[in-house]
Homo-oligomer: A and B are copies of this chain.
Amino acid sequence: MTNASRYHHGDLRSALLQAASEQLKEQGIDGLSLRKLAEKAGVSRTAPYHHFKDKNALLCALAAEGFESLDELISQRFEGETLRDQMLFFVRDYLRFAVDHPERYELMFGRTLWKAGTPTPELKSVAYRSFRHYTDKLAALTAGQLPAGNDPLRLAQASWATVHGLCRLLIDGIYVNQEDMDAVSEQSVALILSALGR
C-alpha cells in the first residue's frame, strides 16, 4: 500500500510542520495557508484541524521550533577569549540566524503571534527560557565587573533590544544594509561593552 493511497497519513503533524517550514521560507507568513499545506501533504483542507486547533496554533509550534534553535545558539556560541570577542561572536551568530531565516525570525518575535494572535503556553515558555538563558550567560560573563548601580536584568534587556533592533532593521531592509552588517554589529558590541565600563 503506497503512501498516497492511505486514508490515514501516519505522521501528518510533522509533515505539516515541515511543509509549513518550507512554505514560510519561500512565501513568508502571509503566503502560508493551511489549505496549501494540506495539499502539499496530500490531504484534505480540514485534516490539519485534527492536529492543530487553528492556524495560530500551527504558527506557534513553528515559532517554538525557532526558539529552540535560538536557545542552542545562546547556549553554545559565546566562544572567544576576551569578553569583547565573546559578545562579538554571539552578536554575529545571532544576526546570521536572523538574516538566514528572516521570516522565521519575524514569526518568532512579531505581532502576528504575540499581539494579533494568542501565543501558546508552549511558545511562551520556550521564548522566556531563551531570554533567561541569555540573561544568565551575560551575568556570568560580566560577574563582578559591572559598574555599581547597574542591574544585570536591565543590561540584558537593553542589550537584547540592541541586537533585536539591529536584526529587524537588517532583515526588513530599513536603514541598515546587509553589507554594513559586520561594521554595525561591531559598533553595537562597542555600545554594549562600553556600558560595562570598558
Contact = CB atoms under 8 A, between A and B. Distances in A.
Nearest to A132: B175
Nearest to A106: B111
Interface string A12-33: 0000000000000000111000
A169 B157 contact: yes
B28 A174 contact: no
Chain B CB within 10 A, most for which of A28, A151, A155, A190: A190
B180 A157 contact: yes
Contacts of A111: 28-29, 102-103, 106, 110, 171-172
Q: How many subunits of this chain does the assembly comprise? A: 2
Interface string A83-127: 000000000000000000011001001111011100000000001
Contacts of A161: 162, 165-166, 168-169, 176, 184, 188
B109 A174 contact: yes
Contacts of A167: 165
A60 interface: no
Contact of A162 (B115, B151, B154, B162): B162
A115 B172 contact: yes
A70 interface: no
Nearest to A160: B175
Contacts of A131: 175
A167 B165 CA distance: 8
Given A28-B111, A191-B195, 5 more contacts: A28-B115, A154-B183, A158-B184, A161-B168, A165-B167
